[in-house]
């Protein structure tokens, strides 16, 4: 797709998309579960700011902001619009219930959380993400490639209790 039409389409989708994301992020953060300690520590090591505020919610099918007929159309164009296993909505993550790869999906979506944070707000994240998907294709877009690659990373996670200055909880 050409850059000019893609920019207009991305701009047209980013506004309403941002509102949908904010609403669903609120739902996830009020009903969802916090990240397990190991994933919270991994996210922090990967540059995610305040991972303790992130929640995830398992659903039978991950909701998307489009009716089913539109999902089928964009699915034919290479966008994952049906049967997706996870969706990052800034500090809220939807997961497909019963997925055996939950940790891998969470890691991928946590990289998207970092990308939201780097973008500054939902609108600018979505504008950039949609533009990349429309011009480069979903599989080849830089943000998806970064999420796939970084989700595999195994950074050295520092145990705070092993620090020489650690005196234990409650000790000044």
Query: Does residue 169 belong to any structural domain of this protein?
Result: no
Number of domains in the chain: 1
Extract the residue ranges of the chain whose pLDDT is less than 50: 1, 161-172
pLDDT of res. 167? 45
Query: Does residue 90 belong to any structural domain of this protein?
Result: yes
- Record the pTM: 0.82
Strand arrangement of the beta sheet that strand 33-34 belongs to: 33-34, 55-59, 92-96, 86-89
SS3 at position 164 = coil
Query: Does residue 102 belong to any structural domain of this protein?
Result: yes
Q: Which is nearest to 90 in space by CA: 141, 132, 33, 48?
A: 48
Query: Does residue 138 belong to any structural domain of this protein?
Result: yes
Query: Does residue 29 belong to any structural domain of this protein?
Result: yes
Q: Which is nearest to 63 in space by CA: 30, 29, 97, 39?
A: 97
Q: Which is nearest to 56 in space by CA: 89, 8, 80?
A: 89
The radius of gyration computed from the CA coordinates of the chain, to the nearest angstrom, equals: 18
SS3 at position 92 = strand
Query: Does residue 112 belong to any structural domain of this protein?
Result: yes
Structural domain for 73, as ranges? 3-150
What angle do the packed helices 3-31 and 122-136 form, to 10 degrees?
A: 130
């Amino acid at each position: 797709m050409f850059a000019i039409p893609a920019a207009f389409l991305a701009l047209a989708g980013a506004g309403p998309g941002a509102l949908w994301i904010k609403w669903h992020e609120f739902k996830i953060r009020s009903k969802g579960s916090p990240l397990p300690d190991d994933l919270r520590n991994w996210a922090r090591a990967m540059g995610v700011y305040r991972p303790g505020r992130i929640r995830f919610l398992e659903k039978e099918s991950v909701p998307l902001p489009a009716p089913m007929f539109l999902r089928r159309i964009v699915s034919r164009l290479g966008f994952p619009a049906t049967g997706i296993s996870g969706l990052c909505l800034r500090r809220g993550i939807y997961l497909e219930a019963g997925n055996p790869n939950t940790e891998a999906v969470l890691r991928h979506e946590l990289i998207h959380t970092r990308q939201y944070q780097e973008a500054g707000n939902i609108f600018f994240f979505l504008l950039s993400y949609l533009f990349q998907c429309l011009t480069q294709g979903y599989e080849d877009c830089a943000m998806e490639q970064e999420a796939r690659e970084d989700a595999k990373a195994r950074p050295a996670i520092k145990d705070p209790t092993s620090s020489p200055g650690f005196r234990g909880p409650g000790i000044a």
